[in-house]
Amino acid sequence: MNSPQQSNDEQATLWNGVAGRAWVEMQALLDHVMQPFERLLADAVAHRRPTRLLDVGCGTGATTIAAARVAGSSTACVGVDISEPMIEFARARADREGVQTKFFHADVQTHRFDPSGFDMIISRFGVMFFDDPVEAFANLRRAATEDAELRFFAWRGPAENPFMLVAERAAAPLLPNLPVRDPNGPGQFAFADPRRVERLLADSGWTDAAIRPIDVGCCFPADALVHWFTRLGPLGRVLDAADARTRSHVIESVRSAYHAYVHGNEIRFDAASWLVVARSAPGSGGAHE
């Protein structure tokens, strides 16, 4: 196999620190919101019935566990994530729920997988955070069998997902240290351009890429809104460092900015994603060989 490329140091720090802890804390709420996407991936797993499945960026384990449940004991389901706090939670969760899965902590971009080990690779919004996407997907191609299926969800652009930017836009005038998204770097909207996704998959040894829009209506209880925006995203990374007066002002300003999404006792929003499906190109071990 290749020598490892540069690792995702910034992402590793983020997801093993404040972001990873927040996702563990918010696990039940996030899984509720993301359940429609989980169900779509689980349905595809049930249809394909792989022998060995890899869930990339598995987080706290919901999608891996759902895949294991529908696939049955004939499928070995494995989850991998760069966040050790989330992997620890996923392991405890699977044990608690009595589901036979394996989880391990690793950077998918550099981890030395066993070659040709998986005949299906899935991800629920876990593949947009690589420093070098071509190297990461080439590494996954080397871990895939011939004619394996790659199936993942990625977010479309911010213009189609305005709910996801409400908090940072409302808070930006009050918090000069609020992180600014890099549209060309790793992050939530890194795969917004489907032509870029097609290119990087082709360059990394995947073929027959099909990319189609999937729009899902999501909701969660309105009384969880403040917890949502104070723990997640760029605002969640810096708000705890603000003084009490600033924090209170930010919370009130941001809360009022969500008024269009409040429907009685629920927060409702539309989530705009891409469903990407590709297969491993015959005779290709991926790029950078």
Residue 212 covered by a domain: yes
Q: Is 141's pLDDT higher than 90? A: yes
Do 63 and 124 contact (CB within 8 A), yes or no?
yes
Nearest alpha-carbon partner for 95 in 65, 140, 136: 65
Longest distance between any two alpha carbons in the chain, whole Å: 61
Q: Is 147's pLDDT higher than 70? A: yes
Do 61 and 88 contact (CB within 8 A), yes or no?
no
Name the amino acid, one letter, at 16: N
pLDDT at 166: 98
pLDDT at 184: 75
pLDDT (tens digit per residue) in 190-212: 999 999 999 999 999 999 999 99
Residue 250 covered by a domain: no
Q: What mean pLDDT comes out for the span 147-175?
A: 97
Give percent of the chain above pLDDT 90.
88
Nearest alpha-carbon partner for 202 in 286, 143, 289, 119: 286
Residue 20 covered by a domain: yes
Q: Is 79's pLDDT higher than 60? A: yes
pLDDT at 16: 92
Q: Is 288's pLDDT higher than 90? A: no
Residue 68 covered by a domain: yes
Q: What mean pLDDT comes out for the span 23-48?
A: 97
Residue 225 covered by a domain: no
pLDDT (tens digit per residue) in 211-258: 999 999 999 999 999 999 999 999 999 998 899 999 999 999 999 999
**CA–CA distance from 267 to each of 29, 159, 166, 223, 229 (Å)?**
12, 19, 13, 9, 12
Quickly state the pLDDT bin for 148 (edges 50, 70, 90): very high
Quickly state the pLDDT bin for 183 (edges 50, 70, 90): confident
CATH number where 120 lies? 3.40.50.150
Q: What mean pLDDT comes out for the span 40-57?
A: 97
- Residues 6 or more apart whose Cβ sits within 8 Å of residue 279: 147, 148, 149, 150, 206, 207, 208
Do 121 and 151 contact (CB within 8 A), yes or no?
yes
> Which secondary-structure segment (H or E) carries 94?
helix 84-97
Q: What mean pLDDT comes out for the span 107-135?
A: 96
Cα-to-chain-centroid distance, residue 149:
18
Beta partners for residue 123, in sequence order: 152
pLDDT (tens digit per residue) in 55-74: 999 999 999 999 999 999 99
Residue 240 covered by a domain: no
Cα-to-chain-centroid distance, residue 229:
18
User: Structurally, how many domains does the chain consist of?
Assistant: 1
DSSP summary character for residue 259: G
Rounded distance between C-alpha atoms, residue 127 and residue 109, angstroms: 10
Residue 134 covered by a domain: yes
DSSP for 191-248 reads T--HHHHHHHHHHTTEEEEEEEEEEEEEEEEGGGHHHHHHHSHHHHHHGGGS-HHHHH
Quickly state the pLDDT bin for 2 (edges 50, 70, 90): very low
Model pTM greater than 0.75?
yes
pLDDT (tens digit per residue) in 167-181: 999 999 999 999 888
Residue 63: give the domain boundaries.
Answer: 9-158+186-218+271-280
Average pLDDT, the chain: 93
pLDDT at 7: 53
Question: Which two tokens mark 158?
Answer: 């911010």
Do 97 and 2 contact (CB within 8 A), yes or no?
no
Residue 286 covered by a domain: no
